[in-house]
Amino acid sequence: MVQERTAPAFEPKSGEVTKAEGLMLYRDMILGRFFEDKCAEMYYRGKMFGFVHLYNGQEAVSSGVIKAMRPGEDYVSSTYRDHVHALSAGVPAREVMAELFGKETGCSKGRGGSMHMFSKEHRLLGGYAFIAEGIPVATGAAFASKYRREALGEASSDLVSASFFGDGAANNGQFFECLNMAALWKLPMIYVVENNKWAIGMSHERATSVPEIYKKAAAFGMHGVEVDGMDVLAVYDAAKEAVARARAGEGPTLIEAMTYRFRGHSLADPDELRPKEEKEFWFARDPITKFAKYLMAEGLFTEAELTSIDKEIQAVIDDSVEFAENSPEPDPAELRRYIFAEG
């Protein structure tokens, strides 16, 4: 049976999106989609190795949340599905692609690969292969921000942290422990559950006694909200509210974004477990197609302008592949470098 729990229709509270915001969000979603499509191509051509988990279908969540934050200032932690979060956080496509190719010019110097993107410059706290592992890291960053502001008197320290994780992680102990601490100390934290309905091959409805994850916030006196994760404006609006609350010292927010991954769990997954009718239901709600129609209906962009943006982004992706292919491999003499912090 097709599970059709989705969030209520988007009701903007901060006015219609501006042309500049529309361009920013559309460009970012297209960048993520085209990048992941190219990753699939490169993986099957033998340019990438190991497990590669793509983000196709979930772009509205990454763009909607991260673009509501301060680029290069606020903190973001990801999961093993981290390429697009890195791109939204501002990590150049060249550095993300080079990391996937295992090259020295990658954002993690070729040492992290697909599941371990990291960038100090862009405040990307990392991708994490272990379930829920990024949640306490982001919570720690939020605590540091609050401590600097309140204990050390740094008035400018009003930075917010966002942690992305899947529905499966919401059954993990670290999730509950961190929600408890964040609510207790009113940390400037946003917990983003990307509920794509499947934890690898386990259906979400079979794995939890309370399918509505956002309701779990109430146990800690925390603000929780369910949002349509296939509507970038709905996510963007919810994220802006959460960011504003966090900066004002009003504490954390749990956002459950109802979304769907268009590919298997990883590129090694034949994706035979999910029902065909379920896939078709969600494919018809493609967040990029939906947003493009909105932008044209509102008269913000013409179809020709959006096509021009698509071509521009494709050129960025093609350039990232060329850069990655021509970049040097890590020096074997530096095998043990980066294990410990350098002076």
Q: Retrieve residue 167's tokens.
A: 């529905």
pTM of the model: 0.95
Local confidence band at 4 (pLDDT 50, 70, 90 cut-offs)? low
Query: For residues 257 and 61, is the Cβ–Cβ distance under 8 A?
Result: yes
pLDDT, tens digit, for every residue of 11-29? 545 458 999 999 999 999 9
Domain boundaries, the chain: 19-324
Cα 67 from chain centre: 11
Local confidence band at 155 (pLDDT 50, 70, 90 cut-offs)? confident
Which residue's structure tokens are 């209906």? 297
State residue 16's pLDDT score.
80
State residue 9's pLDDT score.
45
DSSP per-residue letters across 155-174: TT----EEEEEEGGGGGSHH
State residue 342's pLDDT score.
84
Q: C-alpha angle with apex 290: 269 to 194, nearest 5 degrees?
A: 45
**Residue 250 phi/psi, 5° resolution?**
-90, 5
pLDDT, tens digit, for every residue of 80-96? 999 999 999 999 999 99
CB-based burial of residue 333 (10 Å sphere; 0-12 exposed, 13-18 middle, 19+ buried)?
Answer: exposed
pLDDT, tens digit, for every residue of 40-53? 999 999 999 889 99
More confident residue, 343 or 39: 39
- Calpha distance 301→130 (Å, rounded): 41
pLDDT, tens digit, for every residue of 264-317? 999 999 999 999 999 999 999 999 999 999 999 999 999 999 999 999 999 999
State residue 6's pLDDT score.
63
- Calpha distance 165→78 (Å, rounded): 7
State residue 1's pLDDT score.
38
Query: Is the model's pLDDT at 8 over the cut of 60?
Result: no
pLDDT, tens digit, for every residue of 211-233? 999 999 999 999 999 999 999 99
Nearest to 254 by CA among 168, 127, 163, 177: 163
DSSP reduced 3-state for 256: strand
The letter for the amino acid at 44 is: Y
Local confidence band at 156 (pLDDT 50, 70, 90 cut-offs)? confident
Return mean pLDDT, the chain: 94
Cα 66 from chain centre: 8
The CATH number that domain 19-324 falls under is 3.40.50.970
Which residue's structure tokens are 């949002």? 227
Region 250-275 average pLDDT: 96
State residue 2's pLDDT score.
41
Local confidence band at 3 (pLDDT 50, 70, 90 cut-offs)? very low
State residue 25's pLDDT score.
98
State residue 7's pLDDT score.
58
Region 175-199 average pLDDT: 98
